[in-house]
Amino acid sequence: MNKFAVVILTSTIVAGTTLAGPAFAASLKNSDASAQTVVVTEGSSKTQLQVAAGDTVEFCSSGCFVTFPNGDREALTGGESIEIKGGKVSIK
Amino acid sequence: MISSFLRQILLTIAAVLFLAAPVQLALAQTPTPASPAPAPVTTTPAAPAPAAVAPAPVAEAPAPAVPSSIVSEQRPVIDALKKQIAAYEQKFKQKADADAALANLRLDLEGSAKKLLDIGVSFRPRITEINARLEQLGSPPPQGQPAEAKIVTDERTRLTTEKAEINAVLGETEDQLLEVNKMIDAIGDARRELFANTLSQRVDINYSLGSEVIDAYGREISTMNQLISSWWRFVVTFKWQSMLAAAFFAVIAALVLLIGGQRLLGHLYLRDAAIEQPSYLSRLAVAFWSTLMRSLTVVVFLATTYLFLSYFNVLRPDVASLFYTLFCVIGIVYFVHALAQAVICPGAPNWRLVHVAPRPGRILMVLITATATITGLDYLADTINQIATSPLSLTVAKSLFATVLVGLLIIAMALLKPLEDQETGAAKRWPRPLRLFLYAIGLIPIAAALLGYIGFARFVSQQIVINGAVLVTMYLGFLTARAVADENALGGTVLGRTIQTRFGIDESTLDQLGLIASIVINVFVLLLGIPIILLLWGFQWSEMTVWFLTFATGFQIGSVTISLVAIAVGILLFALFYGFTRWFQGWLDVRVMSRGKLDSGVRNSIRTAVGYLGLGIAGLIGISAAGINLSSLALVAGGLSLGIGFGMQAIVSNFVSGLILLAERPFKVGDWIETSGVGGIVKKISVRATEVETFQRQSIIIPNSSFINGNVGNWTHRNKLGRVEIPIGVSYKVDPRRVHAILMDIARSHPLVLKNPEPFVAFKALADSTMDFEMRVHLADLSNSGTVQNEIRFALVDRFAEEGIEIPFPQRDVNIHLDDADAIVQMITDRVKEQLAGQPKKTTKN
């Protein structure tokens, strides 16, 4: 009976956490001092995405192409975390 | 059988629903929670500006044109994809008016988009490699500095070239993807438009239409007449033997099924009027089997007829399609009729599946059959129109007629009073919401048809009929599930009894099995019914599988991804690991700890701790497998801790106390404890509470915190050694030393009394009537105290009787002082005289 209660307690917490769960989009962090602009091709449109200095944005939930400020192009599947630091792009 | 017209309508609705989903998703995604709003989303082709930075040095480089291996590897794949996409584009232009083709094309394009993205991703390792190497090489030395080694310059040039090449290929892939996605959007638009056109097309219904229809009708009749009579002449002249043979075989097959089926399975579906109250399950089984067997007979008859006719080449293509539709219609109408009869069962009220009064039930059955017939005839008329290539006006008129009739029939159903009051037996109307709903869905096609929106009216009425049938069947499925879940429902069936005897299951387990079966049936009905309804609405099977996969593997709501598969895997892992923990617990206890001669308290503590640890780990494994981030769990736990501090104070304090009890072990299972007025044997120590059984066999659940905060007496903490006192009082007439010796003798001679510590007899008091002694003996096992006390007391009484030692009653000396004796005597004498004097009066009176 006690274990049952524990299970219920856990599942309540789980249900609560689901709402605060992680997102499966790519995240882009700009660690540089100036704002950066990347071009995102997602769906049927190309959009410019501006990221202020020190900010992180989430985009590209279902795969996209990105052109970074240094001209590099990358295809993303939508789970990556990207960091722009010193003009260099690193993808994890 | 479904006309292409209907198909189009159905498919277009699919398009609308399908397109609505991504639109909503897109809307949900736009408000990204990032604080600096990502610059107003411009759809300008803005790529070239930043992209131009990298290729710049390439232009001046001498480019030792060695194509990168990955590029040459992917090149043919990209080219093939490009070709395919071009083909798709061509197809899109050609098939822009066929909805099914568009839906398939869309799926193909989605596949291509995925491939393009995969190609793009496949370049990533190489790009990372190149970037890393370029960083190692550093930037070229500025002018005026000493030049670097040639080999370094060469490598840098080579790498930048390759990178530029990859960038170019990626750009190409990107453009293709963009094109594909645009086409997907365009297909969505086209399908939406198609659907809207079909539904919004309006036909003027006026007198001219009437005369036109009569004309066309006459022509169609004569065409069909000609067609049928020419076929008939052909059959009679050349194929009459084959025709007869076909009919003969078909009848034989149907008869075999009818008679054989009744012989073999008759007991399953023939209703026994003698049974007063058949259980729901047996009613359902009868309904199922009777529907199945009756429809099967008809279907077999029709199918064999058709097969033999076509086998003997009796059918011409146009007549064949007519026959095919006719047979299909007959089969389905008969099935609906049989189903309605089985469910409503007007003849045998006790076999009904739903509570419907007999007479309205019969009417309802007729109405249902009529609706099915009209819908079927509508299909048949469609086929005839196609064969006779009749003008549109006839199709319109026929659809108008059919839809209005269906609407009227539904309204008639709504007007019925089919329900029977369980107690009074009075007829009742449908429940109000259902009645209103029926009115609405009956009026919609009528109104639409009369206003001229024939396409829409037809669409609605057909949807109503087909979906109604599926929904009723699903409802029966749910009823079945409910019936199976009833107490002892499964045990009452043949199947249940077979399982019971075969596997030796007891009643309650069988009952639980019934519950599980009911859940399974519910899920099964949903899994079967929903796709069927969606298929009827014109969704493609492939679309549905894609949805299901997305649904199962993960879909997003806002920023949360929910994946059913992950959750199921999480639950499964939890169950598996928990099972493993239980097994491990048992193994540790029985195999290891009992052999290691561990104290039972320690054993119990370890067992419990292992159990909770396993539960915790299983929970964590389950949660992480379900794709829930544990760090956010910590966040929630942090937030909850304040609430827990107030709201669950008692529980948490008990919980912690339980942990302390497990570690400190002030008592173990089987100990005789006393706490706050409760005494008994400890039966179970859990984390929140401890179960104590008193000697009257009353179980008392004591919260653990009371053990930690209060005093706990444990009679059997380290050992079971304990002292028992037996008080006794003897008369003053005896020599106390003799009594002492006798008591010591009795105490020593009892086998269960310990020699060390020695028994002790205390001369406790010189009381009023007795000299009080107390015999104090130590026992090795305190649980024997009752027996030992009894035996010693028996021995005492026997020995005292032998020795003539008296155990006195309470004694009291009463002293009377006789100083006033004379006065008392005088007073009594006076009283007696008075009484004697009064006596004669009494006699005279009497």
**Domain boundaries, given as residue ranges, for chain B:** 4-32+47-200, 209-485, 566-628, 629-718, 722-803
> What is the per-residue pLDDT for B370?
92
The answer to whether B57 faces chain A, any CB pair under 8 Å, is: no
Domain of A29, in residue numbers: 23-91
Cβ B12 vs Cβ B192: under 8 Å: yes
Q: Verify whether the Cβ–Cβ distance A75 to B170 is below 8 Å.
A: yes
> What is the per-residue pLDDT for B452?
81
Q: Verify whether the Cβ–Cβ distance A21 to B171 is below 8 Å.
A: no
> What is the per-residue pLDDT for B777?
94
Predicted confidence band at B560 (pLDDT cuts at 50, 70, 90)? low
Domain B629-718 part of CATH 3.20.20.70: no
pLDDT: which is higher, A88 or B618: B618
> Is residue A29 situated within a structural domain?
yes
Rounded to a whole number of angstroms, the distance from the CA of B597 to the nearest CA of chain A is 28
Candidates A32, A44, A80, A81, partner chain B, best to mutate (most B CBs within 10 A): A44
The DSSP line for B57-74 is HHHHS-------HHHHHH
Chain A CA closest to residue B640: A13
pLDDT: which is higher, B6 or B635: B635
Per-residue pLDDT tens for B27-51?
333 333 333 333 343 333 433 434 3
Predicted confidence band at B149 (pLDDT cuts at 50, 70, 90)? confident
Mean pLDDT of B273-292: 76
Task: Compute how many other C-beta atoms are within 10 angstroms of the C-beta atom of residue B845.
Answer: 6
Chain B CA closest to residue A66: B174
The Cα–Cα gap between A69 and B51 comes to 7
> Is residue A34 situated within a structural domain?
yes
The Cα–Cα gap between B296 and B290 comes to 10
The DSSP line for B762-817 is EEEEE-SS-EEEEEEEEES-GGGHHHHHHHHHHHHHHHHHHHT---PPP-------
Average pLDDT, chain A: 73
Number of domains present in the structure of chain A: 1
Residues in A touching B654 (Cβ below 8 Å): none
Per-residue pLDDT tens for B586-636?
888 888 887 777 777 778 888 888 888 899 999 988 888 887 777 777 777
Rounded to a whole number of angstroms, the distance from the CA of B47 to the nearest CA of chain A is 6
The answer to whether B54 faces chain A, any CB pair under 8 Å, is: yes
Radius of gyration of chain B (CA): 48
Task: Compute how many other C-beta atoms are within 10 angstroms of the C-beta atom of residue B178.
Answer: 20
Average pLDDT, chain B: 80
> Is residue A87 situated within a structural domain?
yes
Amino acid residing at B42? T
Indicate the range of A16-20, A62-66, B230-234 predicted with least confidence: A16-20
Looking at the predicted structure, is the pLDDT value of residue B253 above 90? Answer: no
Per-residue pLDDT tens for B690-730?
999 998 999 999 999 888 888 899 988 888 888 999 999 99
> What is the per-residue pLDDT for B559?
62
> What is the per-residue pLDDT for B10?
44
Task: Write phi, then psi, for B491 (nearest 5 degrees).
Answer: -65, -25
| Fold type of domain B722-803 | Alpha-Beta Plaits (3.30.70)
> What is the per-residue pLDDT for A78?
75
What is the pTM for the complete model shown? Answer: 0.51
Per-residue pLDDT tens for B242-251?
778 888 888 8
Pick from B53, B554, B632: CB nearest A17: B632
In this prediction, the answer to ipTM > 0.95 reads no
> Is residue A9 situated within a structural domain?
no
The answer to whether B30 faces chain A, any CB pair under 8 Å, is: no
Domain B629-718 shares a fold with domain B722-803: no
Q: Count how many pairs of residues, chain A against chain B, have C-beta atoms within 8 Å.
A: 174
Chain A CA closest to residue B550: A62
Per cent of chain B over pLDDT 90 is: 14
Looking at the predicted structure, is the pLDDT value of residue B273 above 70? Answer: no
Predicted confidence band at A60 (pLDDT cuts at 50, 70, 90)? confident
Looking at the predicted structure, is the pLDDT value of residue B831 above 90? Answer: yes
Q: Verify whether the Cβ–Cβ distance B36 to A18 is below 8 Å.
A: no
Chain A CA closest to residue B35: A55
> What is the per-residue pLDDT for B796?
92
Per-residue pLDDT tens for B127-143?
888 888 888 888 777 77
> What is the per-residue pLDDT for B68?
65
Rounded to a whole number of angstroms, the distance from the CA of A32 to the nearest CA of chain B is 15
Looking at the predicted structure, is the pLDDT value of residue B782 above 90? Answer: no
Helix ranges, B390-431 (H) = 392-415
Mean pLDDT of B733-740: 91
Strands, sheet with A26-30, edge to edge from the N-terminal-most edge strand: A56-59, A26-30, A81-85, A88-91
Predicted confidence band at B330 (pLDDT cuts at 50, 70, 90)? very high
Per-residue pLDDT tens for B176-228?
998 998 888 888 888 778 777 777 777 776 777 777 778 888 888 888 888 88
Q: Verify whether the Cβ–Cβ distance B561 to A22 is below 8 Å.
A: yes
> Is residue A78 situated within a structural domain?
yes
Predicted confidence band at B766 (pLDDT cuts at 50, 70, 90)? very high
> What is the per-residue pLDDT for B692?
93
Rounded to a whole number of angstroms, the distance from the CA of B36 to the nearest CA of chain A is 7
Cβ B148 vs Cβ B140: under 8 Å: yes
The Cα–Cα gap between B333 and B599 comes to 77
The Cα–Cα gap between B610 and B616 comes to 10
Per-residue pLDDT tens for A34-58?
888 888 888 778 888 888 888 888 7
Mean pLDDT of B744-771: 91
pLDDT: which is higher, B41 or B777: B777
B687 in helix, strand or coil? coil
Cβ B818 vs Cβ B772: under 8 Å: no
